[in-house]
Amino acid sequence: MRLLSGSWFSDVPWLHVYVGFSLTIEAFEQYLSLRQWRRYNSSSKPPALLNPRMSQESYASVTAYNTDKIKLSMVSSLVESGLSVLSTLFFFGPFCWRLAGHWAGDGEFVRPLAFMGIQRLVSECISTPFQVYSDFCVEEKHGFNKKTAALFIKDKLLGLGLTAAIGAPILCAVNWLIKWGGENFHFWLWGFSVLTTFGMIVIYPNFIAPLFNKFKVLEDRELRSKIDALAEQLNFPLCEVYEMDGSKRSSHSNAYFYGFWRWKRIVIFDTLLHLPHDQILAILGHELGHWQMNHFMQRLLLVFMNLFVTFYLYGKVMNNDHLYKCFGYGADAKSPIIGLMLLANVLAPVNTVLSVFSTLLSRKHEFQADAFACRLHYGEQLKEALCTVHTENKSTLDPDPWYSWWHYSHPPLLERLAAIDSILLRDGKKERSKGGENNSSRLEELDGEDSRARGSSQNSERATRRAKLAAEDE
């Protein structure tokens, strides 16, 4: 780690490095989006694997929806990235810091909070118009949006209020721990981050999510009994199954579980409950596969490792005048909040690589969870459920490989169907092979019986049974 504290670090024009990297990534993003757009218009017929399940009209609707989404994504990404680069080049961040000092004074905690508040409000002003267009134009045009303008505003205000109520104490604690912890502050800050993460995992589903959606105990007792049986089969410590009013905002569907140790809960969107029970169980089997293989904890461990390294590196550059000067900050701006933001700029290339790795790991976990559902004998049902959910959600069915590799945390539908088919075929061969071995063994037993009871009137019956077994073995 001496690299960051070496003299070379103070010779690098970090502003230009960050801007150059940001422009390169944005150009690459636009190129991938263009490839995806072309992919949507390359065929007017559904892939052969989906022919029995999807009409040409449905496929055209899926294509139109995703084309509208990719257009909006390209424009919003270009605008937001362009404004981000311009704000960096023209030192908008230092301007916000001075403005925060003018409004809030030089308080150790108040000024950083005012600075973050200004940054958040500016970010909301940029992103909100695109969110409005997405919800009330694109989503509504294609039959998904259920929000009213009042609900949209309520969600925005509630989100900002929660960010302030939760974020402010956390930022103050981070600021205090860095100053109090001395040279080893990164250990204390990391420990605080771990505790905060687990705390939010508990707080969010129990106290925050109910502010946005209603959760009620699943009323379908037959489905509940089947879910209980599945949980008991896997020793999953299920406490309750909830139905969530996802239809309040959108027609999209999902299911998930949450909770620690022996207090697990399953949540099913009401937009998913129209599926046959065996398909819902297949989806839950997939979700429980994530639990069985500890996928969540694996990913959380990687996040914690990344946080520790980041905090350690911050300790090496927190007093580096060159880093602050590169981005236009003066000597009075050596706040931990600003220092961590600037370090994130320096580490942007590394974090991009880690993001790609995280995406690939997530895709691997999805394949493993699908395989787990197949081992529960829900392979065919999972295929049908995936096709239904993807069709109803109008999800991209066959994306461009490069775009998928960069963006998709879940494998595309066709890849998942092919993987499930491969598992079912392999398991089918194993069953046939096992059955053949059993039949061959039984044939040998019958031959032994024939030799001991030759001439008996039972021989004709045994011969008939032997012929049937031989036919099955073939």
Is residue 390 annotated as involved in ligand binding? Answer: no
Contact 272, 243 (CB under 8 A): no
**From 135, 139, 287, 398, active-site residue:** 287
Burial class (CB in 10 A: 0-12, 13-18, 19+), 25: middle
For residue 370, indicate whether it is catalytic. yes
Planar angle of CA 459, 465, 467, nearest 5 degrees? 100
Is residue 274 annotated as involved in ligand binding? Answer: no
Is residue 140 annotated as involved in ligand binding? Answer: no
The tokens for 87 are 């704000």
**From 29, 135, 139, 370, active-site residue:** 370
Contact 201, 258 (CB under 8 A): yes
For residue 287, indicate whether it is catalytic. yes
Contact 337, 120 (CB under 8 A): no
- d(Cα 312, Cα 65) in Å, to the nearest integer? 45
Which of left, alpha, beta for 235 (phi over 0: left; psi -120 to 50: alpha)? left
The tokens for 338 are 């600003």
- d(Cα 291, Cα 372) in Å, to the nearest integer? 11
User: Which residue has 């099955």 as its token pair?
Assistant: 472
- d(Cα 195, Cα 99) in Å, to the nearest integer? 33
Q: Which residues are annotated as a binding site for Zn(2+)?
A: 286, 290, 366
User: Catalytic residue numbers?
Assistant: 287, 370
